Every structure is written in structure tokens, then in C-alpha cells.
């Protein structure tokens, strides 16, 4: 009997510095979106595996948290070098399991390198405060780690999003449980191997694979002190409610419907190329994608140029695949429903086929004009390379359309007027604003985080704001001088 040999070994959990099989778990096939072929399998672990991972993390925490932070980050200096050394391999893994183009996959790993670099700077950002608050009395404030924490990552950035949490949380003295998406579980194992090679002690990082069951177990586990989540708004709400009901810290990032407001004075070529790249980059599978363009007034030349730019985006060449056959069908259903509702399709990406990868999950770039705000494609997160153009008579109407969205990750304005740009900056309802930028992602040390139903919880999981989430304050008041004058304080 002939046995198929998968391209990658079966994925295993990573506990206490070792890859371990979970014989009791169900398994799921892992598909490459590029070809539609099975490339590995992943275990869908449950509470028993999570308990083992948490026990390993609890055992490692006393020693790890006692290491001075300037020594802890030395591991991440070495790790950053290993990421750079293994850039090509890590890029190939992201492309294989997620479907990105090679350039996009490389950019994702390069962003992970930047995130690691930021973690190396944490000793300068968390230096304790000290003040003489009364004669002979000093107060000192230090930041201390929480203990065992967890990070639940999505499918769309299998390398970058774990680096939103793992370097900062661990450098600050915590021990981590990482739960990657079951659709893209391979990159996480390589991250663990490189961290161990860099000198990370066993048990500080543990990886448990699974689906809904393991997410619920993480939210319920009494020894996990904080949970971060990145994914859809529907699941983000559930995770936030469940984790906080169990008295945990939680920040849960959800979906988006980012509006690009295009004004008549916008630079035609720059706007067209930026909007096309925003809606199609990473096949539209990013929560910062520009999925709704609000055309303010007479912007026909920009729309025409936009369609020309979008035609240059070719599936299998400079446009990657979407994550699954189900995703492809869902995206194309949105397009069809918009067409049936009266919208005009200027560029149709349905039924895209890449020669040689006929079973891959591809959707071509799609531009749809005269979408009305009540249509599903205008309100809901499509998560594909699709741009809905909504018409507005003036800027206030455009802002009203943007403000009416349940989401609030990003909004951008394209204009050559500083005054109009400022007006949008002050009145758009989003946590990240762009001016003549289609994807206004802040770079370190500025943190990533949206408003409204794009984010639940306080603080952020990246940048300076993450320090507040991953640590707790300890205040110490001391007096050693008995001769000092006393008052109500001392």
C-alpha cells in the first residue's frame, strides 16, 4: 500500500523545551492555499495538553522572572540575529502555509525582526521611578511580570502576530502559552526552535495547538493571568467576555472595515496606487486593508486610474491566495450579492485560476462602484482583495459613512489640503489614521490598536502601551533616617 509523504512533519505541541505528540488529540489536515494540497497535520489539543504547558510555564517563571531584564533581552539580541540568518526559510514557511507572495512573506518576517528589536529596547523603557516624597522618605515604583500569560494568534500573519506578543511579554519576565491558528501552525514551531537556540530557558515559551476547545480552555484556566487575542470581531467579543469573566486581563483585537476617503484634489497616481495596494496586499487578508473607498465628489479620473492599477495585480504573480476554499467562496459571494443589489463591477476577480495551481484558493482584484452604505459588502469585513466604492457628495457625508461603521481600526484621507486632512484626523472614528497612506500601520515604538468593535480591552499588545498590559506595578515606600522630621506622611 502506498503512503503519501507530507511535505512537512506532523505538527506537535512544544512544552518545556520539547516537541511532544498529543496522542489523545484529534488531528486536522493543514492545506497550502497556493496549491490546495495537504502539507501537514496539526493536533487539536484539549485541557490535558494545556495543563502540561501551564505547568511547564509555572515551573519556569520563578527563575525567569528573577533574571534582570537587561540579561533577559540578551536572548532577544541573539534571536534577532537568528531571524535575520534564517530569513529565507521563515519566508518560505509563511508563503507555504498562508499563501502570501514571497515579497509579502519576507516583509512579514522583517516586521517580526523589528518587533524583536523593540523588545531589546525594553530595559530603557521600564526603568523604575524613585522620588523622595517626604523628608527621609522615598517611594520607588517598579514593573513586575504577571506570571503565565497566553497569546492566541490568527491565520493571516503566522510569523508577525506571534511577535506582537512573544518578545515583549517574555522580555518583561512572563512565561508564555502561544496558541497559533490551526490553519497556519508550522511557523510557530520554527520560532520556538530559534528562541531555544538563542538561549531561552525551557518552559518560558510553550505552544499548544488546537481550535475552539483550546481557546476556551485558555480563557478558563485559573493559572493564566492575561490573554491576548487577534482574530474576527465575533470571536474577539467571546474571548474578551470569557477571559474577563474569569478575572483575567484581556485585550482582544477584532476585525475592521477601513474607509479610504478620496477627495477631488488628491494626487491621482499616488492615490490610485496606494488604494490598489491597500485593498489587495496580503490578498486583502489583513485588518488594516482598505476595503471601502469613499469617493467624495468628482473623482472619476482617480477611479479610472485605480482600475488600471488594479489590473496590474495578477493572482499567482503579485497577488497571493486566500486562506481556504471556504474563504474564496465567501468572498465571491459578497461580490455576487453586491452585483445583484445594483452595484457596478469595474473589475471582477471571481473564478480566478492560476496556471499550474488550478486547485489553489485565488480571488482576483475586484473593484465595485456605486456600492450603497446599506449593502453587506459596505458594512461587513470581506477579508479579500475587494474594494467597495461608496459615493459621497461632500466630506461631512463621507465622515458620516465612516463614523457609522461598527469597526474602528483605520481610516485614511487622500488630499493635498492640510486643513481637510486635519478635519478628517479629528473627526474619523478610528484608532489609526492615515493621510495619503493606504495602510496606516504605526511602527515601533508606537502601538497597534483600533477603536469600537475592532478592539476590546485596555492597553495594546505592541509598542510602549504593551508594557502596561504585560506588567503590574509594585510600589515601595522606605524610611531609614530616624532623625528626619516627621509629618503626616512619616
Query: Going by C-beta distance under 8 Å and a sequence separation of 6 or more, which residues neighbour residue 176?
Result: 57, 148, 149, 150, 151, 165, 166, 169, 170, 204, 205, 206
What is the distance between the alpha carbons of residues 106 and 59, in angstroms, rounded to a whole number? 36
Residue 365: name the closest of 326, 298, 317 by CA.
317
Secondary element (H or E) of residue 259: strand 258-262
CA atoms within 13 A on the CB side of 33: 30
Strand 249-253 and strand 13-15: pairing?
A: unpaired
Q: Which residues partner with 253 through β-bridges?
A: 230, 455
Exposed, middle or buried by CB within 10 Å (0-12, 13-18, 19+), for 388? buried
Query: Going by C-beta distance under 8 Å and a sequence separation of 6 or more, which residues neighbour residue 231?
Result: 152, 154, 239, 252, 253, 254
131 SS3 class: strand
- 175 an active-site residue? no
CA atoms within 13 A on the CB side of 443: 7
Cβ proximity of 214 and 227 under 8 Å: no
What is the distance between the alpha carbons of residues 182 and 306, in angstroms, rounded to a whole number? 36
What is the distance between the alpha carbons of residues 451 and 407, in angstroms, rounded to a whole number? 7
Dihedrals phi, psi of 159, to nearest 5 degrees: -105, -45
Active-site annotation holder among 219, 282, 287, 459: 287
Q: Which three cell numbers stand for residue 299?
A: 473623482
* Residues labelled as active-site residues: 287
Amino acid at each position: 500500500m502506498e503512503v503519501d509523504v507530507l511535505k512537512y512533519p506532523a505538527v506537535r505541541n512544544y512544552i518545556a523545551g520539547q516537541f511532544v505528540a498529543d496522542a489523545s488529540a484529534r488531528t486536522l489536515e493543514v492545506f497550502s492555499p497556493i496549491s490546495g494540497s495537504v502539507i501537514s497535520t496539526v493536533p487539536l489539543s484539549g485541557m490535558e495538553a494545556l495543563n502540561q504547558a501551564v505547568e511547564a510555564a509555572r515551573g519556569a517563571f520563578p527563575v525567569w522572572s528573577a533574571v534582570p531584564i537587561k540579561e533577559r533581552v540578551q536572548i532577544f539580541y541573539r534571536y534577532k540575529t537568528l531571524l535575520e540568518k534564517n530569513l529565507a526559510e521563515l519566508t518560505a514557511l509563511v508563503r507555504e502555509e498562508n499563501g502570501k507572495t514571497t515579497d509579502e512573506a519576507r516583509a512579514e518576517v522583517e516586521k517580526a525582526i523589528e518587533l524583536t528589536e523593540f523588545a531589546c529596547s525594553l530595559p530603557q523603557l521600564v526603568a523604575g521611578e524613585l522620588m523622595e516624597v517626604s523628608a527621609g522618605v522615598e517611594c520607588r515604583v517598579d514593573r513586575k511580570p504577571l506570571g503565565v500569560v497566553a497569546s492566541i494568534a490568527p491565520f493571516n500573519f503566522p510569523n508577525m502576530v506571534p511577535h506582537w506578543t512573544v518578545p515583549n511579554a517574555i522580555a518583561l519576565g512572563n512565561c508564555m502559552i502561544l496558541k497559533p491558528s490551526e490553519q497556519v501552525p508550522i511557523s510557530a514551531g520554527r520560532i520556538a526552535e530559534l528562541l531555544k537556540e538563542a538561549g531561552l530557558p525551557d518552559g518560558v515559551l510553550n505552544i499548544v495547538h488546537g481550535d475552539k476547545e483550546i481557546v476556551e480552555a485558555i480563557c478558563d484556566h485559573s493559572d493564566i493571568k492575561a490573554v491576548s487575542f487577534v482574530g474576527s470581531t465575533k470571536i474577539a467579543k467571546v474571548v474578551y467576555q470569557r477571559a474577563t469573566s474569569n478575572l483575567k486581563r484581556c485585550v482582544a483585537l477584532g476585525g475592521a472595515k477601513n474607509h479610504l476617503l478620496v477627495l477631488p484634489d488628491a494626487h491621482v497616481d499616488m492615490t490610485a496606487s496606494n488604494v490598489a495596494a491597500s485593498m489587495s496586499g496580503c490578498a486583502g487578508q489583513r485588518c488594516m486593508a482598505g476595503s471601502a473607498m469613499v469617493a467624495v465628489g468628482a473623482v472619476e479620473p482617480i477611479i479610472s486610474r485605480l482600475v488600471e492599477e488594479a489590473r496590474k495585480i495578477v493572482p499567482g504573480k503579485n497577488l497571493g491566495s486566500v486562506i481556504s476554499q471556504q474563504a474564496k467562496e465567501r468572498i465571491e459571494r459578497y461580490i455576487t450579492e453586491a452585483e445583484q443589489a445594483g452595484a457596478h463591477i469595474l473589475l471582477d476577480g471571481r473564478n480566478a485560476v492560476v496556471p499550474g495551481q488550478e486547485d489553489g484558493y485565488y480571488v482576483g482584484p475586484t473593484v465595485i462602484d456605486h456600492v450603497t452604505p446599506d449593502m453587506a459588502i459596505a458594512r461587513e469585513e470581506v477579508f479579500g482583495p475587494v474594494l467597495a466604492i461608496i459615493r459621497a457628495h461632500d466630506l461631512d457625508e463621507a465622515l458620516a459613512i465612516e463614523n457609522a461603521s461598527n469597526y474602528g481600526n483605520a481610516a485614511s484621507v487622500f488630499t493635498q489640503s492640510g486643513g481637510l486632512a486635519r478635519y478628517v484626523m479629528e473627526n474619523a472614528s478610528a484608532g489609526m489614521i492615515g493621510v495619503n497612506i493606504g495602510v496606516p500601520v504605526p511602527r515601533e515604538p508606537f502601538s497597534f490598536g483600533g477603536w469600537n468593535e475592532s478592539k476590546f480591552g485596555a492597553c495594546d499588545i505592541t509598542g510602549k502601551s504593551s508594557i502596561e498590559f504585560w506588567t503590574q506595578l509594585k510600589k515601595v515606600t522606605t524610611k531609614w533616617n530616624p532623625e528626619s522630621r516627621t509629618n503626616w506622611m512619616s
